[in-house]
């Protein structure tokens, strides 16, 4: 018996020793622990005005965590870099859920708060969030982000240059209510000049009893007008989660495209027993993306001109904005973003400037060879599938609501294989409209694009895009032509008819013209004397500037944007 016990103890010690050596960062199936589910850009605000302004760094429920001190880290075979700092917890946050947002880290890392490990992740290049509620105390707290030199997911990054341990993205602490907006998913389409909105709000409860909440949304136009609003009630059980959905069709919606990047503001708010508890907001754009039978990307049903540029943005946001604006002026319409996924600020710039983005999953295995045999490229190693899955989901959820994201790339410079087949299947299950591409392969897991055809389409984002034509055979009949391909003309036609200095008639009529279409209007000429020469001044206007490209546009006397003006002469 003694020998048997000794043998059992020795076996157990060997197992424990092997387990100690096989730490999470050396395990292909141990991708993360303790991390929150990936989501979009959710920031909690105290008021609707704060949410509309979207100055997230000024939210009273968000505190940037900065001033990290670096030191080399070594613990036996483990090595890397340790980044330590402190954060202070306001008293008014004690009854809220504390979420640590880590935007981007150079390599796999652990999070420690007040000497306790919160969790770890090997998906470091996209935002990861951590619940620090049970790890924090009132007033001062310590925080450590421990970055590792060696980890199993490095096989997915063998094509990128070695990087020193670094925190490369923003880090902040967000305080949300105990019943909080965990995520928001937005889908938009255009039908003529009508906009279709599909909205899902995921509400999460951290309470131990049932609560009935009301979820509201408001959609605010680029001119500051509320164009849609609604609310629904939902009852959440103990620590439960549910999705509240809304669908809305709205007339006269301004589209988002490289021609005219019109951004609407979506504000979501929660209410309990008459009091509003939380406000979050997103910029959204209305457009319909599809892939036609010719493998051409269409926007609002029209083939899209795609001129691409590989681009590696710097950390200087103002420089990035200048570079993107310059590329737009050169006719570039889409960026293939080099390196790992980018920050929210980068996508915000692309949204506001009308620059399309191909967002790529952080997989670059070019140095892993092309072999699909055991021990070859990790893209065909099923043991690595958890890494591919988590990186694909992280990219999708962090970018899904940005209108500038036109398509997704499964990897950079990969060999194909099982993991990329599964990534494609999973992503196509989540994303119904945007193409999913994989450069360098002609297999089924690539929505191959006819780039030659799209490149040869003519440029459409020109300043003057409304033309006025007079039917000389029928005085007073005016054709209004919309030469843009993706932007409906929604405005007013103003006319003034005069003989000499005398104004005979004037007026205003609404004008709606679909892209690449014409509309014919009849100007009333009943008061014009027969045989007399008359002047007919026509103006097409749109109220107030709606984006940065109309700030310096022609203006009529009332400040509205003048899209076209012409004077025609005629005789009845």
Q: What is the pLDDT along the chain (572 residues), one digit of tens a residue?
A: 455 545 444 444 443 344 444 578 777 778 999 999 999 999 999 999 999 988 877 889 999 999 999 999 998 888 999 999 999 998 889 899 999 999 999 999 999 999 999 999 999 999 999 999 999 998 899 999 999 999 989 989 887 777 889 999 999 999 999 999 999 999 999 999 999 999 999 999 999 999 999 999 999 999 889 999 999 999 999 999 999 999 999 999 999 999 999 999 999 999 999 999 999 999 999 999 999 999 999 999 999 999 999 998 887 889 999 999 999 989 999 999 887 778 889 999 999 999 999 999 999 988 877 788 777 889 999 999 999 999 999 999 999 999 999 999 999 877 899 999 999 999 999 998 999 999 888 899 999 899 999 999 888 877 788 999 988 788 899 999 999 999 999 999 999 999 998 999 999 999 999 999 999 999 999 889 998 999 999 999 988 766 655 555 677 777 788 899 999 998 88
| Domain 184-284 class, CATH top level | mainly beta
| 194-205/241-250 β-pairing | antiparallel
Length of the chain: 572
Q: What is the pLDDT of residue 83?
A: 98
Q: What is the pLDDT of residue 547?
A: 61
> Kind of pairing, strands 517-522 and 477-482?
antiparallel
Q: How far apart are CA 186 and CA 263, in angstroms?
A: 13
Task: Name the one residue in this structure whose structure tokens are 């490229």.
Answer: 377
φ/ψ (deg, to 5) at 30: -100, 80
β-strand partners of 245? 200
Q: For residue 20, how many other CB atoms are within 10 A of its CB?
A: 9
> What's the confidence (pLDDT) of residue 13?
41
| CA triple 57-63-65, angle to 5 deg | 110
- Say what the alpha-carbon torsion angle 451, 347, 414, 289 is, to the nearest 10 degrees: -40
Contact 416, 366 (CB under 8 A): no
Separation between Cα atoms, residue 129 and residue 314, nearest integer Å: 24
Residues contacting 392, CB < 8 A, separation 6+: 361, 410, 423, 426, 427
Topology of domain 28-95+97-176 in CATH is: Jelly Rolls (2.60.120)
Q: List the structure tokens of 104.
A: 């981007």
Rg (CA), the chain: 29
> What is the second-level CATH architecture of the domain 294-455?
Alpha-Beta Barrel (3.20)
| pLDDT of amino acid 549 | 56
What pTM was estimated for this model as a whole? 0.90
pLDDT recorded at residue 545 = 61
Within 10 angstroms of residue 33's Cβ, the number of other Cβ atoms is 12
Alpha carbon distances (Å) from 14 to 1, 5, 23, 188, 232 = 20, 14, 15, 57, 57
Contact in structure between 152 and 184 (CB atoms under 8 Å) = no
* CATH 2.60.40.10 domain range(s) in the chain: 184-284, 466-571
- What is the crossing angle of helices 385-399 and 418-430, to 10°? 30
List every span in the chain annotated with CATH 3.20.20.80.
294-455
Task: List the strands of the sheet with 297-299, edge to edge.
Answer: 289-291, 297-299, 302-303
Token pair, residue 353, equals: 């400037």
Yes or no: say if 93 and 65 are a contact pair by the CB < 8 Å rule: no
User: CA of 338: how far to CAs of 14, 160, 244, 321, in Å?
Assistant: 45, 10, 36, 16
Domain with CATH 2.60.120.260 in the chain: 28-95+97-176
Residue written as token pair 């003309």: 489
Closest CA to 449 of 319, 306, 237: 306
Cβ neighbours of residue 347 under 8 Å, at least 6 residues apart? Answer: 357, 399, 402, 404, 405
* Torsion of Cα atoms, 32 then 34 then 37 then 38, to 10°: -60
pLDDT on residue 362: 92
Architecture of domain 466-571 in this structure = Sandwich (2.60)
């Amino acid at each position: 018996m003694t020998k048997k016990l000794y043998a059992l103890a020795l076996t157990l010690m060997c197992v424990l020793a092997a387990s100690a050596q096989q730490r999470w960062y050396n395990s292909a199936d141990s991708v993360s622990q303790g991390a929150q589910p990936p989501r979009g850009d959710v920031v909690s605000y105290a008021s609707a005005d704060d949410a509309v302004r979207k100055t997230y760094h000024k939210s009273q429920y968000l505190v940037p965590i900065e001033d990290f001190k670096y030191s080399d880290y070594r613990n036996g075979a483990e090595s890397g870099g340790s980044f330590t700092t402190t954060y202070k917890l306001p008293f008014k946050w004690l009854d809220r859920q504390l979420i640590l947002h880590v935007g981007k880290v150079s390599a796999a890392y652990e999070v420690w708060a007040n000497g306790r490990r919160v969790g770890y992740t090997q998906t470091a290049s996209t935002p990861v969030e951590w619940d620090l509620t049970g790890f924090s105390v009132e007033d001062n707290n310590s925080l450590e982000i421990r970055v590792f030199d060696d980890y199993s997911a490095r096989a997915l990054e063998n094509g990128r240059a070695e990087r020193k341990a670094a925190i490369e993205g923003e880090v902040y602490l967000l305080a949300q209510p105990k019943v909080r907006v965990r995520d928001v998913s937005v889908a938009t389409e255009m039908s003529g000049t009508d906009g279709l909105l599909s909205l899902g709000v995921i509400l999460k409860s951290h309470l131990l009893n049932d609560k009935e909440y009301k979820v509201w949304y408001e959609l605010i136009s680029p001119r500051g007008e509320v164009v849609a609003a609604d609310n629904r009630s939902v009852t959440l059980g103990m620590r439960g989660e549910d999705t509240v959905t809304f669908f809305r069709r709205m007339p006269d919606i301004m589209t988002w495209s490289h021609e005219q990047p019109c951004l609407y503001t979506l504000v979501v708010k929660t209410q309990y027993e008459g009091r509003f508890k939380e406000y979050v907001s997103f910029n959204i754009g209305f457009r319909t993306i599809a892939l036609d039978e010719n493998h051409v990307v269409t926007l609002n049903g029209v083939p899209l001109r795609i001129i691409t540029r590989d681009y590696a943005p710097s950390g200087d946001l103002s420089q990035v904005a200048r570079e993107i604006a310059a590329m737009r002026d050169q006719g570039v319409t889409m960026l293939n973003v080099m390196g790992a996924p980018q920050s929210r600020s980068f996508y915000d710039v692309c949204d506001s400037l009308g620059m399309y983005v191909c967002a790529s999953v952080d997989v670059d295995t070019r140095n892993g060879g092309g072999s699909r045999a055991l021990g070859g490229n990790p893209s065909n190693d099923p043991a690595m599938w958890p890494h591919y899955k988590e990186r694909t989901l992280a990219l999708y959820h962090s970018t899904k609501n940005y209108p500038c994201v036109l398509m997704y790339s499964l990897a950079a410079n990969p060999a194909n294989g099982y993991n990329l087949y599964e990534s494609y299947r999973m992503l196509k299950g989540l994303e119904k409209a945007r193409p999913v591409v994989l450069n360098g392969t002609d297999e089924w897991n690539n929505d191959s694009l006819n780039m030659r055809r799209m490149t040869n389409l003519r440029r459409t984002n020109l300043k003057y895009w409304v033309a006025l034509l007079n039917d000389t055979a029928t005085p007073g009949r005016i054709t209004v032509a919309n030469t843009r391909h993706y932007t409906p003309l929604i405005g007013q036609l103003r006319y003034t008819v005069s003989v000499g200095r005398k104004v005979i008639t004037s007026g205003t009529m609404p004008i709606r013209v679909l892209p690449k279409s014409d509309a014919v209007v009849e100007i009333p000429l009943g008061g014009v004397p027969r045989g007399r020469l008359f002047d007919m001044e026509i103006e097409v206007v749109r109220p107030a500037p709606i984006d940065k490209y109309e700030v310096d546009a022609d203006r009529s006397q009332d400040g509205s944007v003048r899209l076209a003006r012409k004077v025609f002469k005629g005789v009845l």
